[in-house]
Amino acid sequence: MRIDAITIFPDYLRALDLSLIGKAARDGLISVHRHDLREWAHDRHRTVDDSPLGGGAGMVMKPEPWAEAFAAVIEQGKAELGPQAEPLIVFPNPAGQVFAQATAQEWSGREWILFACGRYEGIDERVYEHLEAAGHEIALVSLGDYVLNGGEVAVLALTEAIVRLVPGVVGNAESLVEESHSDGLLEYPLYTRPARWVDPAGAVREAPEILLSGDHGRIAAWRSERSAERTRERRPDLWDARD
């Protein structure tokens, strides 16, 4: 998988060189390419924003730098992947669809994802229109019903959620099977040693006996019950939406 990200803060995305994502890149499972939008702003101040037409607070990102940036980055990607390759262009955007595990799973199979990080009040609407008119596939996604100051933090989260599902990235693929949202439910409670823990307040806290029984069938049933119970309590929306 090739990942491109266009941003005015490329250093914000240096975290993609670390940990799981960084190792996946070093292992050749993915490649990550950061691009500074200001490369395509040609005035002396490398301006990428201007006041909103119609008035209002804040600034809007100008369409010209974005159009040039997309053309250049897509040309670079095609040079690597072949002329037929097409990116999924993802705009983190609070007005987008809320991102979900099923989308992460779907996008983990894509050859090329191009993230576009908005800042200020957002990007001129004609950029989206321009890309769609050129036949590009675009998606606007939000991490949830809250607003960040720009798309970079969302790109870090989206990239981790997607790339960890790319085969070979996570050492033990089994660990992806029983985690929250992998089956539409919340994960069961987890315990490890010591089975009997005296907490700093002096309270004795025992792990559930069943987990020490060695009876894998009963343990699986217990975990399934806890998962259902937890989902009903904490996320009735997920519980009601399950197949």
Ligand X SMILES: OB(O)c1ccc2cc[nH]c2c1
Q: Which residues pair with 114 in a beta bridge?
A: 4, 89
Binding of residue 7 to ligand X (CB under 6 A): no
Choices 62-70, 126-134, 149-157, 178-186 (CB under 6 A): range interacting with ligand X: 149-157
Residue 47 structure tokens: 């301006």
| Residue closer to ligand X, measured from CB, 10 or 92 | 92
Choices 72-80, 147-155, 187-195, 218-226 (CB under 6 A): range interacting with ligand X: 147-155
- Coil/strand/helix, residue 123: strand
Binding of residue 118 to ligand X (CB under 6 A): yes
**Residue 27 counted as an annotated binding residue:** no
Binding of residue 150 to ligand X (CB under 6 A): yes
Distance CA 12, CA 89 (A): 19
Binding of residue 122 to ligand X (CB under 6 A): yes
Binding of residue 93 to ligand X (CB under 6 A): yes
Binding of residue 89 to ligand X (CB under 6 A): no
Q: Which of 154, 161, 162, 163 binds ligand X (CB under 6 A)?
A: 154
- As a whole number of Å, the CA-based R_g of the chain is 22
Binding of residue 10 to ligand X (CB under 6 A): no
Binding of residue 148 to ligand X (CB under 6 A): yes
Binding of residue 151 to ligand X (CB under 6 A): yes
Binding of residue 92 to ligand X (CB under 6 A): yes
**Beta-strand (E) ranges in the chain?**
2-7, 31-36, 49-50, 60-61, 88-98, 112-116, 137-142, 196-198, 204-206
- Token pair 């259902």 is found at 228
Residue 113 structure tokens: 């994802």
| Binders in 25-84 for ligand X, by CB under 6 A | none
The phi, psi pair for 138, rounded to 5°, reads -120, 155
**Residue 217 counted as an annotated binding residue:** no
Short-list 132, 133, 139, CA closest to 110: 139
DSSP state, residue 23: H
Interface residues with ligand X (CB under 6 A)? 92-94, 118-119, 122, 142-143, 147-151, 154
